[in-house]
Amino acid sequence: MSEAQVNEQSSSQQRRSSRVFTRIPVRASGKSIQGRKFRENSQTIVINAHGGLLYLQEELALGADLLLINPVTEEEQECRVVYLGDTSEKGTRVGVEFLSPSPHFWGVDFAPQDWPTGPSSHPVH
């Protein structure tokens, strides 16, 4: 097994919940790296029960606090910037982690990591 495969395998084993690649509208507010308050509409790239990855136009610092708002439910969730990725015309890819567990914030049910998947995993009644 190559080193890249080992690293990929160990990082996937460290995940606390499954990832879902989906676009969900979200509003984000906080302070930019320059200390200016901002509020912008965005959309997710990837979500999980503990946070997500989204595009933001504002320049942010790693560790910055954000408030995400689900515009469908108006639910608010405090989170922290844990990843800053590539920048494109859509914005910078920003990874956020919820400060407190909120598995229902996105309106998606996440299966626990240890649930079996596949056709043989469904019990027959």
CA distance 94 to 61: 10
Q: In this structure, what token pair is assigned to residue 69?
A: 């708002």
- How many folded domains does the chain comprise? 1
pLDDT the model gives residue 105: 93
Q: Is residue 92 part of a domain?
A: yes
pLDDT the model gives residue 111: 64
pLDDT the model gives residue 19: 84
Q: In this structure, what token pair is assigned to residue 51?
A: 């946070």
Whats the size of the chain, residue-wise? 125
Q: Is residue 112 part of a domain?
A: no
Q: Is residue 6 part of a domain?
A: no
CATH code of 103's domain: 2.40.10.220
User: Quick check: 13 and 21 in contact, CB under 8 A?
Assistant: no
Tell me the average confidence (pLDDT) per consecutive run of 10 residues in the chain, 125 residues long: 39 62 96 96 94 96 97 95 96 96 83 53 50
Neighbours of 23 (CB within 10 A): 13
Q: Is residue 10 part of a domain?
A: no
Q: Is residue 2 part of a domain?
A: no
Q: Is residue 60 part of a domain?
A: yes
- Which residue range(s) make up the domain with 88? 21-107
Strand ranges (DSSP E) for the chain?
A: 20-21, 25-31, 37-48, 51-56, 65-69, 76-88, 91-98
Q: Is residue 14 part of a domain?
A: no
pLDDT the model gives residue 125: 53
Q: Is residue 4 part of a domain?
A: no
